[in-house]
Amino acid sequence: MTLAQSAAEAEALLRRFRRIRTRSVALCASLSAEDMMVQSMPDASPAKWHLAHTTWFFEQFVLERAGDYRSPHPEWHYLFNSYYQTVGPMHARPHRGLLSRPGMAQIHDYRERVDAAVSERLSRGVDAATLAVIELGLEHEQQHQELLLTDIKHAFASNPLRPAYTARLAAGTVTSAAPLEFITGAEGVVEIGHDGDGFAFDNESPRHRTLLHPHALANRLVTNAEYAAFVHDGGYREASLWLSDGWDTVRREQWQRPLYWQEDMASEFTLAGVQAIDPHAPVCHVSYYEADAFARWAGVRLPTEAEWEHAAAALPVRGNLLDEERFHPRAATPGPGLLQMYGDVWEWTASPYVSYPGFRPLAGALGEYNGKFMCGQWVLRGGSCATPREHVRASYRNFFPPHARWQFMGIRLGQDR
């Protein structure tokens, strides 16, 4: 890379840095200081912590590596480290909601100081390795933008007052769901994984060959009405539909319907408060266990991640993503081909989250980002209504444990042919 190329990339990255960092703060604009401190369950984090942790990431992995930077709050490293064991100890994740100090004013000041320092470095030029770490930090921040929304949704749903995060949830305009069809996919040896064009996380590589057996994918996501039929048919009471761990979870947690559906089975909690369930919109906030049980009940299965990626790679990234600011899945507009491959809800696949052949994690502490979680998790694809458009791509591999359902998680069906 020439110096001119590096300078041009740094300037473009500086503009993107400012835009993404500004959006994180904007997503919190309607929240009070009290809202931003709530941690409603161990898997969620307070909004305040998200703003501080994403700042800590740039301070730790960009600024402090240069040697001439001194943190204004070195004691905060313990508070806002997430899981990077190789850079030091961290505050226990389930106790992040106990951090009443530092206050919001201090955290905003912290963000401004770090933003100014990173901007200054980009303005005077940095090497390619530093550019790559800053870009990783921005992708990391976009992940936390989605988590900001899903975590505050869980917190607000836990409040008996059922407060609304936004009043902008637009009513659905689709009066009937697109007919469910199964579209035959490719078969034989294909390549999946990142092709090297643009940013990708380490878990998307290396690109490799895999075998697709004869199969088909549903043209759209499973709707609320279709999932309600599963519920009414006793799906949560029929052990034969569930994986053993899933059935244990259903009984232990007393699941009877998707997370956020109300007891009347006609309304659900959304980021705009309690709203009527749109029967044609995709069902969301279901776990892998629920997605798998529904597929069994329907007499089909979930797609593999290779089937999904090969089909999605030919499609443009567009759909109901964070940029729409709707913050809720919407019904598919009828049309030809595969619909809703990007946005609305993350789609559970039948694939465990494991490494690709030849996988190598990033060097050093950043190697902890993805690789060490390749155990006991399942892959989701496609992004959701809370995912920034520029953040997702066909090769993107999201992953969560099979019991998780507070993210915007839904179902696309697959079948053998």
Instruction: Give the domain CATH number at 340.
Output: 3.90.1580.10
Of 157, 192, 222, which one is at a domain's C-terminal end?
A: 157
For residues 399 and 295, state if they share a domain: yes
Residues 101 and 195 in one domain: no
Together in a domain, 150 and 205: no
Residues 131 and 238 in one domain: no
pLDDT of residue 174: 64
d(CA 178, CA 174): 9
Where among 122, 157, 192 does a domain terminate?
A: 157
What integer pLDDT is reported at residue 176 of this predicted model? 79
Candidates 369, 314, 356; CA nearest to 205 is 356
pLDDT of residue 104: 96
Residue 207 in any domain: the answer is: yes
Q: The domain spanning residue 38 has which CATH number?
A: 1.20.120
In a domain, 381, yes or no: yes
Cross-strand pairs, 400:
378
Q: What pLDDT does residue 190 have?
A: 98
Please indicate, yes or no, whether residues 245 and 374 belong to a single structural domain of this protein.
Answer: yes
pLDDT value, residue 147: 98
284 with 369, same domain: the answer is: yes
Instruction: Count the domains in the chain.
Output: 2
In a domain, 166, yes or no: no
Do 346 and 203 have their domain in common?
A: yes
**Residue 237 is assigned to a structural domain of this protein:** yes
- Is 87 in the same domain as 231? no
Give bridge partners of residue 223 from the DSSP assignment.
282
Instruction: Answer yes or no: do 195 and 152 share one domain.
Output: no
Alpha-carbon distance 283 to 281, whole Å? 6
For the stretch 281-291, pLDDT in tens is: 999 999 999 99
Q: What is the pLDDT of residue 369?
A: 86
CA distance 220 to 281: 10
Q: Check residue 171 and give its pLDDT.
A: 55
Residue 171 is assigned to a structural domain of this protein: no
Q: Which domain covers residue 116, as residue numbers?
A: 3-157
Instruction: Please give the pLDDT value at position 67.
Output: 77
Q: Angle, nearest 10°, between helix axes 244-253 and 288-297?
A: 110
Buried b (16+ CB within 10 A) or exposed e, 245-259: ebbebbeeeebebbb
201 occurs within a structural domain: yes
- The residue among 157, 173, 192 that closes a domain is 157
Residue among 334, 335, 348 nearest 382 (CA):
348
Segments of the chain scoring below 70 in pLDDT: 1-5, 169-174
The residues, ordered by sequence, that sit 6+ positions from 259 with a Cβ below 8 Å of its Cβ are 285, 286, 405, 406
Residue 118 lies in a domain: yes
The pLDDT of residue 227 is 98
Indicate whether 69 and 111 sit together in one domain.
yes
Q: Give a yes or no: residue 384 inside a domain.
A: yes
User: How far apart are the C-alpha atoms of 83 and 368, rounded to whole Å?
Assistant: 8
Q: Which two tokens stand for residue 263?
A: 């007891």
Residues 325 and 192 in one domain: yes
| Same domain? 50 vs 196 | no
Select from 54, 268, 277, 223 the least CA-distant residue to 147: 54
- The residue whose two tokens read 């500086």 is 14
